[in-house]
């Protein structure tokens, strides 16, 4: 409901049930199939195995995911589990790419969109190791809807890089 109320394309629920068992809540939610969509993780794996699509097509995927991400965060929604396997995309016959996000149960409203950006884009950045530096830069510019890096974009780029470095060092 949070996504739909914010005008963000989301999965259509077809069934929901909830009950209490031993004082704990249990729920089930079934949604319509995302026909023709595949996760960005699947797309990238297929590209690695079969060869990358033309740069223009790859750009359309990144821009569609960036646009969806931006809409989510502008609505001050933080997904909290923003992995490539949770972001689905498909290319339509007209060449337009659509993106959707799944596993919305951890989503929360936050007081500032920057908090959403830092958490979700950091997670996406760290869990998309196959994305090249130019792909990441294209994504960020599309996400921010800019053609050239601004001081804010540079700050955000450095901040995301520092967070990724700190997280990777914490795991080592």
> Residue 172 has what pLDDT?
45
> Residue 165 has what pLDDT?
85
Domain locations in the chain? 34-167
Nearby residues of 79 by Cβ (< 8 Å), 6 or more positions away: 72, 86, 101, 104, 106, 107, 116, 120
Provide, rounded to the nearest whole percent, the portion of the chain with pLDDT above 90. 69
* pLDDT(169) > 80: no
* Mean pLDDT, rounded, for 78-107: 94
* CA-CA-CA-CA torsion sign (5, 17, 83, 44): negative
Q: Which CATH class is domain 34-167?
A: mainly alpha
DSSP character string of the chain: -HHHHTT---PPEEEEEEEEETTEEEEEEEE---TT-EEHHHHHHHHHHH-PPPHHHHHHHHHHHHHHHHHHHHTTEE-S---GGGEEEEE-TTS-EEEEE--GGG-EE-S-HHHHHHHHHHHHHHT-TTS-HHHHHHHHHHHHT-SS--HHHHHHHHHHHHHHHHHHHHH-
Most confident of 14-23, 59-68, 104-113, 123-132: 59-68
pLDDT tens for each residue of 44-78: 999 999 988 889 999 999 999 999 999 999 999 99
Rounded to 5 degrees, what are φ and ψ at 163? -65, -40
pLDDT tens for each residue of 6-52: 999 888 888 889 899 999 888 888 888 899 999 999 999 999 999 88
> Residue 114 has what pLDDT?
94
């Amino acid at each position: 409901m949070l996504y739909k109320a914010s005008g963000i394309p989301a999965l259509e629920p077809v069934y929901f049930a909830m009950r209490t068992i031993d004082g704990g809540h249990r729920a089930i939610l079934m949604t319509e199939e995302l026909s023709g969509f595949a996760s960005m993780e699947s797309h990238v794996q297929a590209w690695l195995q079969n060869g990358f699509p033309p740069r223009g097509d790859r750009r359309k995927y990144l821009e569609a995911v960036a646009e969806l991400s931006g809409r989510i965060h502008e609505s001050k929604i933080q997904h909290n589990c923003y992995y490539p396997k949770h972001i689905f995309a498909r290319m339509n016959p007209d060449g337009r790419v659509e993106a959707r996000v799944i596993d919305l149960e951890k989503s929360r409203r936050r007081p500032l969109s920057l908090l959403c950006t830092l958490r979700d884009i950091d997670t996406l950045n760290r869990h998309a190791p196959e994305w090249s530096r130019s792909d990441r830069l294209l994504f960020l510019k599309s996400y921010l809807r800019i053609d050239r890096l601004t001081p804010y974009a540079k700050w955000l780029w450095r901040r995301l890089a520092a967070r990724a470095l700190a997280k990777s060092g914490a795991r080592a």
